[in-house]
Chain A
């Protein structure tokens, strides 16, 4: 019952967020200088030609009317037609979304596989070489620019060693370098958080009592301490998935990955209004959904938390 009420509440709040996003997206791209009709026509297009082209794109109507008709269509599941691709926005987006989702998911997996063990060990073995290594990793991971790191990977594994393809979309080999590049900042954050949380939790009284009970060392770490130390990590990972979807723009550009990121850049460059709006709306929806899932996951891990 509580879960159902929570979900309903969350749904309403999400709709409100999406409504806000739609207004902001709609007005921001219209405030920004640049006119899609002018970009589609040669530089010496006449006023009349520009007006006719705007009419063809439906951009001649008052902004409020444009917004209302756009939202009306969205509510019926129609995201409109891209000005430049002459194809429905939903088609374009859902054709590209799997590539970005795949990249994000694998990036998260890789970064958690690296960072969780590293963070745990660094937390319980404070002051040792492993700890120093983990801190160094976190420092580099957080300060290294993704562009730079991506190019280094390409040079090393693509050009010099020839192990992995330098760019392109396709098999597992293609995804490795972009996923590592994308996941690097996340793993750095997780290592840092888990390291300090693990250390703090290990000082708690209840851990001392588990020692007193004679429970084995690793059982204490993994069963008793990790559960509490992991909570902030889940929050951060959830938030980061949204950011990774957006951050993928840069990584996709570097590796020529045909995801939502490259589509977004093209849409913005050409001021493809309907497409930009729809991408933002869909991305926001994904972000909201992921965050709701994270909240639910929270209560599963920590029964003290209540859904409300």
Chain B
């Protein structure tokens, strides 16, 4: 009996001590590091620091700029790193770490002259070796997500400290667009530390990486020695991943969060007119599309069935009545993106909503009521369920027999790449206004396993990929997309999404690109 009481006492004490210890830890953290505290309001902490908090739905997965990118990492890379050149996301390029550049006649060699007054935050000087190390790493290591962009890079020749030449095995049409987003890494630190470099992330950028606490917060600090001249009056930027949209919006309303992205359109529009908040809505570069498995024995191997699908969807209805934002897609790209055709969009020539025509096309096809497996990634379009059920209903109305399944990304990718589907709904964003990545990934490499082959289309895309002249590239891609619209394959396009960014009205000088990426480098607080 006594022993049991003793035991109970020990148990009780242990529980108490552990809970007290846990509470104690928290208190310590809050007093030692003011930015760790809950309030992300633009606050002046006791050290007189101004802190801005921004929040997105997802966290960082990798800090390697050559790893699989996500929205947080795009934004962080702009803060902590620089690129050789910068893009205005409308096809114009300006100098950054490179002061000037030129391309050889055959389009295979690009020469760059570099700045000589730049150092990384770890003290390492920036020079041509860093350019070489950054790009050759991506070209050689095929386990890196960005490897595929640099497969044709033969080498980077270091002419002297501040001059280098990229040698390609064939002309690279998307080169300028790609280097304008490729973060330059410190060569020496990369060689010494390998992947461990991405625990400290030393860059040349306007902001310095301070700490990363997965799932909780990431802290950046203003770099007052920035070579480009520091324009911000904010001391720290804190990033917080909050997956629940409503919570993120609540944080905006209370001022705990200053900038938020990934806000669903209906919720964003509900915030319009609030004095303390700025709601920025622009047509975005994200396109929702469906890939069609057109292999032998599949329903969509029949062109008439594909065209029936094209004409049975009332894109305008989805945009107007379900989403309340966005643009119906009558062409694979939107204005400002390579391959755009204004006439086709205005005339709705290829994807006009015409259920009678769709019925007729379906009757002319070999379709006999087989079940169509329609799968989708949850969250690739706002109100995923409603939008997809609308598409399902529109298809059913003209005679398709559709089974819809909404799933998470990993399952979708596994099924799609194995071709275990008929119709797959996803989205793509035309980063920097270039459609070459989409075309190469989904048309040429057929990563969606559509099994659709049109030699003319493929050769047009290949030629465009090797064309450095942007006007010529544009025309080639327009022709390639025209075939896609005429054939209804391998992709059909449904709508493009508007881009929303919301921030408190005391924030100034942030740039929100049409692809949703934010440039917070020059952020100031009123």
Report which A residues bind B (CB closer than 8 A): 3, 32-35, 38-46, 48-49, 52-53, 56, 84-86, 92, 95-96, 98, 101-102, 105-106, 109, 151, 154-155, 158-159, 162, 165-175, 253-256, 258-259, 262-263, 265-266, 269-271, 293, 296-297, 299-300, 303
Given contacts A98-B22, A168-B240, A263-B215, 7 further A-B contacts (CB under 8 A): A33-B411, A39-B410, A44-B148, A46-B142, A86-B62, A96-B215, A101-B22
In the assembled complex, the Cα of A166 lies from the Cα of B248 at a distance in Å of 8
Asked whether B59 is an interface residue with its Cβ less than 8 Å from the other chain, the reply is: yes
- Contact flag A43-B410 (CB < 8 Å), given A167-B242, A258-B213, A262-B215: no
| Contact of A34 (CB < 8 Å), options: B7, B68, B142, B410 | B410
- Contact flag A258-B216 (CB < 8 Å), given A43-B448, A49-B142: yes
Question: Can you list 6 A-B contacts with CB-CB less than 8 angstroms, sorted by A residue number?
Answer: A33-B410, A40-B143, A170-B37, A170-B38, A171-B38, A258-B213
Binary per-residue interface labels of chain B (226-250) against chain A in the complex, 1 for a CB within 8 Å, 0 otherwise: 0000000000000011111011101
In the assembled complex, the Cα of A226 lies from the Cα of B170 at a distance in Å of 83
Asked whether B344 is an interface residue with its Cβ less than 8 Å from the other chain, the reply is: no
B:407-423 near A, CB below 8 Å:
408-411, 413-415, 417
A300 & B7 in contact (Cβ 8 Å cutoff): yes
**B448 CB to nearest A CB, Å:** 7
B253 & A159 in contact (Cβ 8 Å cutoff): yes
- Contact flag A102-B414 (CB < 8 Å), given A165-B38, A297-B11: no
**A159 CB to nearest B CB, Å:** 5
Q: Which residue from chain B places its CB closest to the CB of A255 in the assembled complex? A: B247
| Contact of A300 (CB < 8 Å), options: B8, B68, B145, B256 | B8
In this complex, the member of B4, B30, B217, B415 whose beta carbon has the largest number of chain A beta carbons within 10 angstroms is B4
Q: Which of the candidate stretches B107-115, B437-445, B477-485 sits at the interface with the other chain?
A: B437-445
Q: Which residues of B contact A44 (CB under 8 A)?
A: 148, 440-442, 444-445, 447
A254 & B244 in contact (Cβ 8 Å cutoff): yes
Q: Which residues of A contact B240 (CB under 8 A)?
A: 167-168, 256
Q: Which residues of A contact B29 (CB under 8 A)?
A: 170
Number of interface residues of B (CB under 8 A): 67
Report which B residues bind A (CB closer than 8 A): 1, 3-5, 7-8, 11, 18-19, 22-23, 25-27, 29-30, 36-40, 59, 61-62, 67-68, 142-143, 145-148, 195, 198, 213-217, 240-244, 246-248, 250-251, 253-254, 256, 408-411, 413-415, 417, 440-442, 444-445, 447-448
Q: Which residue from chain B places its CB closest to the CB of A167 in the assembled complex? A: B247
In this complex, the member of A39, A42, A96 whose beta carbon has the largest number of chain B beta carbons within 10 angstroms is A42
Q: Which residue from chain B places its CB closest to the CB of A56 in the assembled complex? A: B143
The 7 A-B residue pairs whose C-beta atoms are closest, nearest first, are A34-B410, A258-B216, A44-B445, A43-B447, A256-B242, A165-B38, A258-B215
**A165 CB to nearest B CB, Å:** 4
Q: Which residue from chain A places its CB closest to the CB of B407 in the assembled complex? A: A33
- Contact flag A256-B36 (CB < 8 Å), given A39-B413, A167-B242: no
**B259 CB to nearest A CB, Å:** 15
Q: Which residues of A contact B38 (CB under 8 A)?
A: 165, 167-171, 173-174
Q: Which residue from chain A places its CB closest to the CB of B213 in the assembled complex? A: A258
Q: Which residue from chain A places its CB closest to the CB of B69 in the assembled complex? A: A42
